[in-house]
Structure 1
Amino acid sequence: MTDTLEHLDTESVVNTAIDMPWSTIVWDDPVNLMTYVSYVFRSYFGYPREEAERLMLRVHQEGRAIVATGNREAMERHAEAMHGYGLQATVSKAAP
C-alpha cells in the first residue's frame, strides 16, 4: 500500500511539473520606441490598444513584462517572433 501511495505522489509531482505553464517575457531595451513595442503587441498578439499599452508601459517602467503564458513550445515560438520584431524576449517557467 505504501508503495502505491509513494508512486501516486511521485506521479502527481511529475504531472504538475509538466502542466506548469511557461511565460514569454519581453525585456526593456534602449533601442525600440514605446509606440513600436505597443504596435508589436497589438499586431502579433492581437491585444487591444489599452492592453498593449499597459504591457508596453510595464516593459518601460519595470524593465520587463510577461506578454503570454502557455505551453513551452508556444512560448518559445512567441519569443522567436519577438526576436524577429527586434525585441528582447525570453521564456521562463511561470510562477506557481
Structure 2
Amino acid sequence: MSISVAPGPDTQEGTRTGTAESIDTLAAPDIPWNLVIWNDPVNLMSYVSYVFQSYFGYSETKANKLMMEVHKKGRSIVTHGSKEQVERHAVAMHGFGLWATVEKASGTSGNPGRGKGKRG
C-alpha cells in the first residue's frame, strides 16, 4: 500500500522568501532612530546623570554633558539605533522615571558622534 501526499503549503514556502527579503530591504532606510530625553521638573540632575551611566554605560563626563544638555536646552539625543532598540531604551527610561521619546533621525540634526553607546 502506498500513500501519496499532495503538495501543501510547506512546499510553497520557498516562493515567499523573496517577499520577506524585499520587506527587509524597504525597512532599512528607516534606520537610525533617536532616543530623546526631555527636561522635567521632578528628577535631580545627579539622578539623570546616574541613569545615563548605569543604563547606557556612559562615562561620568559624557553622562554629565548629556544631562546638562537636557537641563539647558530642554532635551538631548542620548543614543540612536534601530527603531526596536530605541523603543526598548525609551521604555527603560520611563521605568527610571525619565521623560523619553523616540524620533526618526534626520541627516541634518543632532551632533555627529553623539549617542554611539548602545545597549542590547
TM over 0.5, shorter chain: yes
CA contact (8 A) 2:45 2:71 kept: yes
Partner of 2:78: 67
Task: Identify, as 1 or 2, the structure richer in helix.
Answer: 1
Computed over aligned residues only, the root mean square deviation of the Cα atoms, in angstroms, reads 1.7
Q: Distance in 1 between matches of 2:102 and 2:95?
A: 15
Q: Distance in 1 between matches of 2:27 and 2:88?
A: 23
Partner of 1:36: 47
Q: Distance in 2 between matches of 1:15 and 1:48?
A: 36
Q: Distance in 1 between matches of 2:78 and 2:26?
A: 25
Matching of residues 1-96 of structure 1 within 5 Å: 15=26, 18-96=29-107
Runs of 4+ in 1 over 3 A off after TM superposition: 14-17
| Cα shift at 1:18 | 2.8
CA contact (8 A) 2:31 2:83 kept: no
Aligned length: 84
| Cα shift at 1:95 | 1.2
| Larger relative contact order, structure 1 or 2 (CA cutoff 8 Å, min sep 6) | 1
Q: Distance in 2 between matches of 1:17 and 1:60?
A: 33
Structure 2 gap segments, 5+ residues each: 1-21, 108-120
Structure with higher Rg: it is 2
TM-score by length of 1: 0.81
Q: Distance in 2 between matches of 1:75 and 1:37?
A: 18
Q: Distance in 1 between matches of 2:59 and 2:85?
A: 21
Q: How much identity, in percent, do the aligned residues show?
A: 57
